[in-house]
Structure 1
Amino acid sequence: MQQWLNEDLGRGDLSAAALVGCSGEAHWLAKQAGVFCGGSLAKTIFHCLDPSLKIQLLVNDGDAITAGQRVLDIEGAATAMVAAERTALNLAMRLSGIATATAALVKQLEGTGVRLADTRKTSPGLRIFEKYASRCGGAYNHRVGLDDAAMLKENHLAWAGGIQNAIAAIRTNAPWPARVIVEAETAEEAKAAIAAGADAILLDEFSVAELQQLVPQLRSLALKRGSPVLLEASGINPEQIRAYASSGIDLISSSAACTRSSWLDLSMRFHTNKG
């Protein structure tokens, strides 16, 4: 976080000279409704510059907020509050935007039993925070990194010589608890993955109608082999997410909340007194 502050401060805040001796109070105001996220991170950013700042979070990460609502109060030296303001707000607005967009998708899945998961399409350096925002919005985290599970995609399968060879190599070399997920672009690939012993199938860019026909077939194949398989839909149109849930899948993964969301508008208002 200090690196983020240094990016903005450079060789020092040139406006600080106008604030020497000033102290007082400020608050964060939500300018639109949404789901708040990033309060504890913002608090840490402010304290990186001045540990003596008094900060009170008025809402918790994951709470729904309304336009005009105060979400944070802060008191202390104006120089530190002004210098850290933009970095703290930028992070909270970005994360709140993701949490808000995620919550909207999760709401559409209510009552279906289908879970929403995020993806690895995150901003470099911010993955852990953006995935945290996804959790605050009600989604589950998919792989945080490549070491969480083995996911075999088109290139893996082509270079390994097919699904059977790829899965066999992973089973031989990976720790025994590792799960193997196969991304399937056709019904034939999905069926072959189950036959080869995959733990989960990511059904990529299938239509709702195609999934409604394919899912029962895959369930039957998994039953015959004697072990369950998790079925995940990806590459979907977020506007049709509830229709996809009707196909009988277990999970929908989508990057939309992270890659297409807007920042939630927050601002900081000062009440500064001359010390």
Structure 2
Amino acid sequence: MSAVFDFSPAAIAELARADAARALAEDVGAGDLTAGLVDPARRAVARVLARESAVICGAPWAEAAFAQVDPGLKVRWLVPEGSRCQADQVVLEVEGAARSLLTAERTALNFLQLLSAVATKTATYVEAVRGTRAQIVDTRKTLPGLRLAQKYAVKTGGGTNHRIGLYDAVLIKENHIAAAGGVTAVLRQARDVAARATFVEIEVERLDQLQEALDNGARMVLLDNMDLPMLREAVRINAGRAILEISGGVTLEKLRALAETGVDRISIGTLTKDIKATDFSMRLKEL
């Protein structure tokens, strides 16, 4: 059930380069008018400070932003990717032309603050279900154009990726079932595309739908907005035949109880959708 994007270091580096190029074009355009006020010969060291505890994520994107502005900038991470920093800790130092540091600052920090926030939130949810069988899974509720970056951040925080997009897996939801003529009919249709998909999953809202799905060979079922007694009964009915996933109305407060029902996966849109950026600041010191 792995997503089609392999998240290898080489693939991540190429993704980060493309994302950074797009972001710099948006921010810098024809040139940084304000940084142009600084003597091009001046050199400085920039220290990036985390204002709060966080799981650091986004190093490839920050590095790509600095490198594309000025390949001569020297980057040194004091807190490695995927490690937790403490409040008021310096996580990164960058040395080089002061103009270049000023131009790259906002793009580099934008990636760092977003992706660290996603990784940190994911880590919190993963910790809440520790000791159960449940995996924490992301969704397609991502920022347009930054889905792969955010899914990378979920993995960095210890979570699991769901499908990347509409093209790599089948997820049959309520409207698909209604349009196709019911659970049995839509699952029969899904057999024709199963070989091209990383997985086929069907969403159900009732226990009778779950039974019908299982009777028609479903191997992955999304249990939508079920309460705890209903979820426990779903796990009993399933008896290990299909992978069971919870979705809908999941909060951190309810998460442990949901995981303890015995389901395999809990998908959570808030990991990538409702994000408060991690607070970072950059300070320059002239050399």
Whether these two folds match at TM > 0.5 is yes
The separation in 1 between residues aligned to 2:165 and 2:31, in whole angstroms, is 36
The separation in 2 between residues aligned to 1:85 and 1:177, in whole angstroms, is 40
Report the alpha carbon displacement of residue 62 of structure 1 after superposing the two structures with TM.
1.2
Normalising by structure 1, we get a TM-score of 0.93
Q: Which residue of 2 aligns with 1:57?
A: 77
1:115 to 135, 138, 147: 135
Q: Deviations over 1:34-77 (max 9, x none)?
A: 11101121011110111111111222221111011111110101
Task: Give the fraction of aligned pairs with identical amino acids, expressed as a percent.
Answer: 39
Q: Deviations over 1:154-200 (max 9, x none)?
A: 11111111122212122124426642100111112111111111110
2:95 to 69, 72, 75: 75
Q: Which residue of 2 aligns with 1:267?
A: 281
2:266 to 219, 244, 252: 252
2:159 to 133, 139, 144: 139
The separation in 2 between residues aligned to 1:130 and 1:176, in whole angstroms, is 25
Q: Which residue of 2 aligns with 1:95?
A: 115
Identify if the C-alpha distance between structure 1 residues 216 and 174 changes in structure 2 by more than 3 Å, giving closer, same or farther. Answer: closer
Q: Which residue of 1 aligns with 2:247?
A: 234
- Is the CA contact 2:65–2:108 (under 8 Å) kept in the aligned structure 1? yes
The separation in 2 between residues aligned to 1:44 and 1:137, in whole angstroms, is 21
The separation in 2 between residues aligned to 1:2 and 1:237, in whole angstroms, is 36
The separation in 1 between residues aligned to 2:190 and 2:257, in whole angstroms, is 34
**Structure of higher CA gyration radius:** 1
- Corresponding residue SS for 1:175: helix
- Corresponding residue SS for 1:142: coil
The separation in 1 between residues aligned to 2:209 and 2:152, in whole angstroms, is 33
Identify if the C-alpha distance between structure 1 residues 8 and 167 changes in structure 2 by more than 3 Å, giving closer, same or farther. Answer: same
- Is the CA contact 1:28–1:269 (under 8 Å) kept in the aligned structure 2? yes
The runs of 5 or more residues in structure 2 that have no matched partner are: 1-19
2:62 to 37, 42, 47: 42
The runs of 5 or more residues in structure 1 that have no matched partner are: 223-227
- Is the CA contact 1:238–1:256 (under 8 Å) kept in the aligned structure 2? no
Partner AA of 1:11 in structure 2: A
Q: Deviations over 1:96-142 (max 9, x none)?
A: 11111111111111111211111111111000000011111110111
The separation in 2 between residues aligned to 1:179 and 1:173, in whole angstroms, is 10
Q: Which residue of 2 aligns with 1:12?
A: 31
Report the alpha carbon displacement of residue 148 of structure 1 after superposing the two structures with TM.
2.6
Identify if the C-alpha distance between structure 1 residues 232 and 129 changes in structure 2 by more than 3 Å, giving closer, same or farther. Answer: same
- Corresponding residue SS for 2:25: helix
Superposition CA RMSD, Å: 1.4
Q: Which residue of 2 aligns with 1:225?
A: none
The separation in 2 between residues aligned to 1:19 and 1:126, in whole angstroms, is 32
Any runs of at least 4 consecutive aligned residues in structure 1 with deviations exceeding 6 A, and if so which?
none
The separation in 2 between residues aligned to 1:4 and 1:68, in whole angstroms, is 27
- Corresponding residue SS for 1:29: strand
- Is the CA contact 2:133–2:263 (under 8 Å) kept in the aligned structure 1? no
Partner AA of 1:265 in structure 2: D
Q: Deviations over 1:198-231 (max 9, x none)?
A: 1100001111122112210122xx6xxxxx3100
The separation in 2 between residues aligned to 1:139 and 1:214, in whole angstroms, is 24
- Is the CA contact 2:168–2:196 (under 8 Å) kept in the aligned structure 1? no
Partner AA of 1:257 in structure 2: L
Normalising by structure 2, we get a TM-score of 0.89
